[in-house]
Amino acid sequence: MTLAAVDDYVEFCLFLRRLTGIDLTQYKRPQMERRLRTFYANKGITLLTDAFSRLRSDPAHLEELLDRITINVSQLWRNPEQWEIIQTKLLPELAEHGQVRAWSAGCSYGAEAYTLATISHVAIPKGRVSITGTDIDKRMIERARLGLFSDEDARTAPEALLKVGFDRVEGGWRAKLKLRTMTRFDTGDLLQMRPQQGAFDLILCRNTVIYFAEPIRDELHLRLADALRPGGYLVIGSTERVSSPAALGLSMKDPFIYRKL
Contact residues for ligand SAM (CB under 6 A)?
Answer: 70-74, 78, 106-108, 111-112, 135-137, 140, 189-191, 206-208, 211, 237
Burial status of residue 62 (CB atoms within 10 A of its CB: 0-12, 13-18, 19 or more): middle
**Nearest distance from residue 58's CB to ligand SAM, in Å?**
21
Strands (E), 82-182: 100-105, 129-135, 148-150, 166-169, 172-175
76 vs 91 by CB, closer to ligand SAM: 76
**Nearest distance from residue 211's CB to ligand SAM, in Å?**
6
45 Cβ contact partners less than 8 Å away, ≥ 6 residues apart: 1, 51, 54
**Nearest distance from residue 91's CB to ligand SAM, in Å?**
18
Neighbours of 233 (CB within 10 A): 25
Q: Is 210 helix (H, G, I), strand (E, B) or coil?
A: helix
186 Cβ contact partners less than 8 Å away, ≥ 6 residues apart: 132, 133, 134, 141
**Nearest distance from residue 41's CB to ligand SAM, in Å?**
23
17 vs 37 by CB, closer to ligand SAM: 17
Strand bridging mode 172-175 / 166-169: antiparallel
113 vs 129 by CB, closer to ligand SAM: 113
CA–CA distance, 86 with 81 (Å, rounded to integer): 9
**Nearest distance from residue 27's CB to ligand SAM, in Å?**
7
74 vs 118 by CB, closer to ligand SAM: 74
28 vs 37 by CB, closer to ligand SAM: 28
